[in-house]
Amino acid sequence: MSKILAIIGTSNTGKTSIIEYLVTNLVKKGLTIGSAKHVHHPDFSIDLDGKDTWRHANAGSKRVVCLSEDEVAIIRKEKGPEYKLEDILKLFQDEEFDLIILEGFHWMVSSRKEVLKIVTAKDVEDAEKRLNGTIPPILAITGKISNILRGKSIQKIPIIDLKDESDQLLDLIMEQVLPTAGN
């Protein structure tokens, strides 16, 4: 079973930058990583109006598969109940992953003990809001807050600066999230 790490925080706090760093460096260590991003915009579509795949779906196709030499995209046109964590994990079941990293999904993962978490925040108030109702394990706090409080902690959770302490964050992941993976 894959480990799950959620990077949670408000907009523009560095979630994507942290995920880029972690994925790049964990892959260099030989780990297989999958990732998922929550998009908050209700009108968002990965499919572009007027393009062939859009035309397939617009004609009524419930699932459109788009294949190129280097990518496969599956576009499912669905309305209905909100996804659960188990539904997202099913999207990764066709391959073995050492770690699945989620960007966002705070409402879905905040009360889940099996999901490891890193919180990104702009400042102390932002961090406290995000930590409120979020249960451990919370491995670190990072993001813009680290410019203010580098080397400190909130609620005994270390604040780690991605620019200057990125190896510490990576080591924390390798030691605590994937203790049996190729250190």
Tokens coding 182: 């190729």
Contact residues for 21 (Cβ-Cβ < 8 A; gap 6+): 162, 166, 169, 170
Q: Is the pLDDT of residue 17 over 90?
A: yes
Q: Give the pLDDT of residue 136.
A: 96
| C-alpha count within 13 angstroms, C-beta hemisphere, residue 45 | 15
To the question of pTM greater than 0.75 for the whole model, the response is yes
The CATH code belonging to domain 3-41+80-177 is 3.40.50.300
Cα→Cα distances 52→75, 133, 165, Å: 12, 44, 46
Q: Give the pLDDT of residue 48.
A: 75
Q: Is the pLDDT of residue 119 over 60?
A: yes
CA–CA separation, 37 and 116 (whole Å)? 16
